[in-house]
Amino acid sequence: RLTASNFHRIRSRRSNFDALASQVFDFHFKNLSYIPAIKYGIENESVVRNFVRTTYNKFDVRKTGLVTNPFMPFFSSFT
């Protein structure tokens, strides 16, 4: 799948597509929670979710995981 995380690398690749494909597929199996920005995001997901839920009560806020557009399944995002 084409996610925001790897879109630029794919779009700007000029050669060695096999190595890029390997990196994209291997990326999904790595634990990245030790990276400060990712750790911070994980620790604050519930805080932000609760803020959005109380501030914007018109929206239904849910913990969903990977979101994919059924008409463009090659685009996806984690929420």
Entry pTM:
0.48
Instruction: Name the domain count of the chain.
Output: 1
User: For residue 71, what are the CA distances in angstroms to 75, 76, 78?
Assistant: 9, 11, 17
- pLDDT tens digits, one per residue of 20-73: 767 766 655 678 789 898 899 889 989 988 998 999 988 888 887 777 778 887
**Domain that residue 56 falls in:** 2-78
